[in-house]
């Protein structure tokens, strides 16, 4: 789940505030970069909204409390494979952020923790290990670079290949819907769950394009954001 921070674009004003307390040089740099990026979206008249990540379900790409900027021009439109989208299921007051894996008509399954798309195992390469901080302890997780056809490579995290959602029967993505997964595969509520399922395209709010803080930077190639010079 996520927390909405501020709306920007032609219809609104960006609200960026610094909390009380000391800021490190790195965090101050993030604030300055964030203000500059918000200004660029405002100047271009691009509708956008910022959200704070409420969980680690998109780790290692996005951590809990990371703040992202979503391009709202994607609202209600079919995204591309590999896009990170902000959307609303299952309840209207809940906002989620996940990665698009399957498009309408795609066949998606998981076998032994491996993603299977249209009958083919999606390639992944090991990238080492890291620690996942939980509320009560830290847990080692393996990092992989996954290569989804038609998308840029991205990284995922897995505790093991024997977790509950590592075995998912093949499903066909319905028309006007997308199949989404969290990059933190063993700690994500997503389309694998019967209570969640594929996301209707009409529930899509926007595409996550930029991390405002910490470690500000593009989540997509800048050239893929039309209208932003």
Residues catalogued as catalytic: 57, 98
CA distance 197 to 79: 17
Distance CA 125, CA 188 (A): 21
Instruction: Give the E-state strand segments of the chain in sequence order.
Output: 2-8, 48-53, 67-71, 84-87, 96-102, 107-111, 114-117, 120-121, 123-133, 138-147, 154-158, 168-172, 177-181, 199-200, 204-213, 217-218
Residue pair 10/45 in contact (Cβ under 8 Å)? The answer is yes
The two three-digit tokens of residue 225, written as one number: 């954001």
Max intra-chain CA distance, the chain: 53
Whether the CB-CB separation of 216 and 40 falls below 8 Å is answered with: no
């Amino acid at each position: 789940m996520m927390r909405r921070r501020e709306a920007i674009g032609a219809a609104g004003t960006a609200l960026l505030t610094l909390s009380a307390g000391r800021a490190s040089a790195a965090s101050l740099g993030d604030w300055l970069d964030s203000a500059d990026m918000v200004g660029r979206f405002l100047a271009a008249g691009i509708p956008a909204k910022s959200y704070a990540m409420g969980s680690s379900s998109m780790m290692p790409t996005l951590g809990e409390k990371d703040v992202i900027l979503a391009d709202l021009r994607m609202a209600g439109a079919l995204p591309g494979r590999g896009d990170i989208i902000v959307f609303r299921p299952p309840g209207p007051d809940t906002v989620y952020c996940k990665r698009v894996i399957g498009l309408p008509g795609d066949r998606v399954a998981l076998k032994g923790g491996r993603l299977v798309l249209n009958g083919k195992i999606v390639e992944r390469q090991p990238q080492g290990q890291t620690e996942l901080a939980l509320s009560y302890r830290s847990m080692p997780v393996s990092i992989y670079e996954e290569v989804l056809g038609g998308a840029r490579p991205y990284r995922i995290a897995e505790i093991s290949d024997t977790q509950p959602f590592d075995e998912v029967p093949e499903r066909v993505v319905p028309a006007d819907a997308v199949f989404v997964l969290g990059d933190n595969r063993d700690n994500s509520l997503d389309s694998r769950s019967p209570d969640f399922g594929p996301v209707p395209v009409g529930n899509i709010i926007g595409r996550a394009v930029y991390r405002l803080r910490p470690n500000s930077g593009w989540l997509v190639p800048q050239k893929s954001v039309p209208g932003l010079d």
